[in-house]
Homo-oligomer: A and B are copies of this chain.
Amino acid sequence: MNQDLRREREAASFNPELLTHVLDGSPENTRRRREIENLILNDPDFQHEDLNFLSRSQRYEVAVKKSASMVKKMREFGIADPEEIVWFKKIHLVNFVEPVSLNYSMFIPTLLNQGTTAQQEKWLLSCKGLEIIGTYAQTEMGHGTHLRGLETTATYDPETQEFILNSPTVTSIKWWPGGLGKTSNHAIVLAQLITKGKCYGLHAFIVPIREIGTHKPLPGITVGDIGPKFGYDEMDNGYLKMDNYRIPRENMLMKYAQVKPDGTYVKPVSNKLTYGTMVFVRSFLVGEAARSLSKACTIAIRYSAVRHQSELKPGEPEPQILDFQTQQYKLFPLLATAYAFQFVGAYMKETYHRINEDIGQGDLSELPELHALAAGMKAFTSWTTNAAIEACRMACGGHGYSHCSGLPNIYVNFTPTCTFEGENTVMMLQTARFLMKSYDQVHSGKLMCGMVSYLNDLPSQRIQPQQVAVWPTVVDIDSPDSLTEAYKLRAARLVEIAAKNLQNEVIHRESKEVAWNLTSIDLVRASEAHCHYVVVKLFSEKLLKIQDKSIHTVLKNLCLLYCLYGVSQKAGDFLQGGIMTESQITQVNQRIKELLTVIRPDAVALVDAFDFQDVTLGSVLGRYDGNVYENLFEWAKKSPLNKAEVHESYHKYLKPLQSKL
């Protein structure tokens, strides 16, 4: 093991294994996760190709190979539990993506959620056996988050009892679905259903796109890859154009809405139920944000412990860069954020499952809040994580820019999260809609429960939002609970400002929609403050459940750092509301510096506790052992440009120029 890392680990104030159990949920979960990961790590078939050295076409090929081996191995090992599949895939792929994944993550679940029993019987086995390789085609070139704008049509023909699918415009071409370009032979296509001359909105259809056996595109289908992207090199995100393409009536997923053989449309009982998948995916993405950020922190903090640079004291050896206050200030608030998001991710998962059970029993009452929370938290955590991964990368200096660090891949594969599954600003506005509705309900005398219960205490009947020193609280900057109160007051104030500005615009504008648009900056700000409060609250509450004293102490320090860093960054909000005084803000800045010093000896152990075995594989800078520079040199030698001593382009282009002289 690297000497610096050994020293860091020996100096830690706590046992990281215990913290790993907290993160996994239980010691048993940790044990099982490692067991699954080791199936791969100890498997002689498992090879870790470094995709960084390959062209896109080669990367795609390796990814298909990995997809295939993964399917085989999961069959072999009998891994079927969704959580275990995630563990298995993560360690198998090491920061990369795989083209068959949508068959399992989207095609099969949609079939299960929206297909009739007969449809499931007909299709499911073929999907599981990969005779059908499915994907999910929703987004079009012209429309993403705004689903109602989708243009693809499915027109029912009662003569033949078929749907005729069409992509009537360039903008209606399906665009982006993963695995659509080359890999899949079927897609669940979202299209505007037209029957008996009337459009009934979006419905899902199972569409064969390639011939089973030859894998050739079927007549009427134009399908291909949408071209190179920032990341997701291994994924054949695809396009799909359909020209009078006919599918049998039975290919419409008919668990809820139906089209009878004669073309009669039968509408579903509730529209809310189709929310489910969306809410699930967004909740899941919060955990993914936590994971990506934790990985980036692992690499940056380990590297900062190993990298020696510059002078702190003249004549002494070069210090670890982790000893520079500015480096700590870059990384430790992000580490605290990673922990915060880990706990939020776990909460979202639990809450989703709890509410999903309620829904199963017909109780939809908590769905609106969950929907609003999932939207906002997806946006809040992904924006923060997005910037934070880049901050981690740049904290590694030049070496962070090299693919040797693994950080560019983490970034480019994470960053789509800000724009997919609901663009973040749109998500924040969805949360704002819930907040405004709740605000109105409070004002019409209803008591709110859940995360927005603070709106019940709004002093808005009594005072102007801009007025100072009206809050009853004196904030104790060493208490997570007290800081949670401060965040709550900030959220309450910003929700109130947005609501009042919205009311004001409604009076002066031609329509509610125009007023909404002209308040949307305030609305987004209110949602962000609400989400920030939720994160702080969940982190503080998590502390109460930690038994081990040493773990409690380090987590409390991280929680305080998370809270205080946010106060410092958004000092204006806390000052403006009179929530905190100017001298308190000065104290906050001082306290942050102290916390950096307190956390410093535990920094490496805190990232060890994330227990990412794949970081070791995917990042030269994040490895556990050996000399980082020797590893780096060995890695670089494998660069494709190093294959020949002299690159042929020299003889072709440069030598002729030289000989001219």
Binding site for B on A (CB under 8 A): 52-53, 55-57, 60-61, 64-65, 67-68, 71-72, 100, 126, 129-131, 133, 139, 141-146, 149, 170-171, 173, 175-176, 181-183, 212, 214-217, 224-231, 236, 239, 308-314, 318, 323-327, 329-330, 386-387, 390, 393-394, 397-398, 400-404, 408, 412, 415-416, 418-420, 423-426, 429, 466, 468, 511, 513-514, 517-522, 524, 568, 570-576, 582-583, 585-586, 589, 592-593, 627, 629-630, 632-633, 635-642, 645-658, 660-661
Nearest chain B residue, comparing its CB with the CB of A311: B513
Ranked 6 nearest A-B pairs via Cβ: A571-B572, A55-B55, A129-B661, A225-B641, A230-B408, A68-B653
* 18 A-B contacts (beta carbon < 8 Å): A53-B227, A56-B641, A67-B654, A139-B398, A146-B318, A183-B654, A226-B636, A227-B635, A227-B639, A239-B633, A311-B513, A324-B517, A398-B420, A401-B415, A568-B572, A571-B572, A575-B576, A576-B585
**Are B641 and A141 neighbours in the complex by a CB distance under 8 Å?**
no
**Are B514 and A60 neighbours in the complex by a CB distance under 8 Å?**
no
Cα distance A420–B522 in the bound complex, in angstroms? 38
Cα distance A281–B214 in the bound complex, in angstroms? 58
Cα distance A360–B88 in the bound complex, in angstroms? 66
Q: Contacting A61 at CB < 8 Å: which of B131, B318, B648? A: B648
**Are B419 and A61 neighbours in the complex by a CB distance under 8 Å?**
no
**Are B403 and A227 neighbours in the complex by a CB distance under 8 Å?**
yes
Residues in B neighbouring A225, C-beta threshold 8 A:
636, 639, 641-642
**Are A647 and B403 neighbours in the complex by a CB distance under 8 Å?**
no
**Are A67 and B653 neighbours in the complex by a CB distance under 8 Å?**
yes
Cα distance A654–B652 in the bound complex, in angstroms? 40
Return A287 CB to nearest CB of chain B, in Å.
21
A318-B149, A572-B570, A653-B65 known; A325 vs B517 contact (CB < 8 Å):
yes
Cα distance A327–B520 in the bound complex, in angstroms? 10
Cα distance A426–B321 in the bound complex, in angstroms? 12
Nearest chain B residue, comparing its CB with the CB of A310: B146
A57-B641, A627-B170 known; A227 vs B313 contact (CB < 8 Å):
no
Cα distance A212–B226 in the bound complex, in angstroms? 44
**Are B149 and A326 neighbours in the complex by a CB distance under 8 Å?**
no
**Are A72 and B657 neighbours in the complex by a CB distance under 8 Å?**
yes
**Are B518 and A646 neighbours in the complex by a CB distance under 8 Å?**
no
Q: Contacting A641 at CB < 8 Å: which of B72, B181, B217, B423? A: B181
A139-B398, A229-B401, A575-B575 known; A637 vs B170 contact (CB < 8 Å):
no
Q: Which interface residue of A60, A131, A398, A419 has the most chain B CB atoms within 10 A?
A: A398
**Are B647 and A60 neighbours in the complex by a CB distance under 8 Å?**
yes
Return A169 CB to nearest CB of chain B, in Å.
8
**Are B583 and A68 neighbours in the complex by a CB distance under 8 Å?**
no
Q: Contacting A228 at CB < 8 Å: which of B309, B522, B633, B639? A: B639
Residues in B neighbouring A390, C-beta threshold 8 A:
386, 390, 415
Return A621 CB to nearest CB of chain B, in Å.
12
Cα distance A324–B231 in the bound complex, in angstroms? 28
Q: Which interface residue of A68, A146, A401, A424 has the most chain B CB atoms within 10 A?
A: A401
Nearest chain B residue, comparing its CB with the CB of A63: B649
Q: Which interface residue of A57, A415, A511, A652 has the most chain B CB atoms within 10 A?
A: A57
Return A84 CB to nearest CB of chain B, in Å.
20
A131-B658, A571-B576 known; A646 vs B215 contact (CB < 8 Å):
yes
A61-B649, A182-B641, A637-B224 known; A403 vs B170 contact (CB < 8 Å):
no
Cα distance A655–B230 in the bound complex, in angstroms? 30
Residues in B neighbouring A660, C-beta threshold 8 A:
129
Cα distance A533–B41 in the bound complex, in angstroms? 55
Nearest chain B residue, comparing its CB with the CB of A404: B227
**Are B325 and A521 neighbours in the complex by a CB distance under 8 Å?**
yes
**Are A57 and B642 neighbours in the complex by a CB distance under 8 Å?**
no
Return A582 CB to nearest CB of chain B, in Å.
5
Q: Contacting A403 at CB < 8 Å: which of B173, B230, B400? A: B230
Nearest chain B residue, comparing its CB with the CB of A570: B572
Cα distance A647–B575 in the bound complex, in angstroms? 60
Nearest chain B residue, comparing its CB with the CB of A651: B215
Cα distance A647–B64 in the bound complex, in angstroms? 10
Residues in B neighbouring A654, C-beta threshold 8 A:
64, 67-68, 100, 130, 133, 183, 215
Q: Contacting A325 at CB < 8 Å: which of B173, B330, B518, B568? A: B518
**Are B416 and A401 neighbours in the complex by a CB distance under 8 Å?**
yes
Cα distance A212–B654 in the bound complex, in angstroms? 11
**Are A326 and B65 neighbours in the complex by a CB distance under 8 Å?**
no
Residues in B neighbouring A71, C-beta threshold 8 A:
657
Nearest chain B residue, comparing its CB with the CB of A567: B572
Cα distance A244–B176 in the bound complex, in angstroms? 55
**Are B149 and A65 neighbours in the complex by a CB distance under 8 Å?**
no
Cα distance A520–B326 in the bound complex, in angstroms? 6
Return A605 CB to nearest CB of chain B, in Å.
23
**Are A641 and B325 neighbours in the complex by a CB distance under 8 Å?**
no
**Are A652 and B65 neighbours in the complex by a CB distance under 8 Å?**
yes
Q: Contacting A129 at CB < 8 Å: which of B61, B415, B586, B658? A: B658
Cα distance A653–B65 in the bound complex, in angstroms? 6
A228-B52, A629-B171 known; A400 vs B419 contact (CB < 8 Å):
yes
**Are B52 and A227 neighbours in the complex by a CB distance under 8 Å?**
yes
Nearest chain B residue, comparing its CB with the CB of A631: B170
A61-B647, A403-B228, A637-B224 known; A511 vs B52 contact (CB < 8 Å):
no
Q: Which interface residue of A402, A468, A656 has the most chain B CB atoms within 10 A?
A: A402
Q: Contacting A170 at CB < 8 Å: which of B326, B582, B629? A: B629
**Are B141 and A629 neighbours in the complex by a CB distance under 8 Å?**
yes
Residues in B neighbouring A61, C-beta threshold 8 A:
647-649, 652
Cα distance A224–B126 in the bound complex, in angstroms? 50
**Are A64 and B398 neighbours in the complex by a CB distance under 8 Å?**
no
Cα distance A53–B61 in the bound complex, in angstroms? 16
Return A571 CB to nearest CB of chain B, in Å.
3
Cα distance A585–B494 in the bound complex, in angstroms? 14
Residues in B neighbouring A574, C-beta threshold 8 A:
572
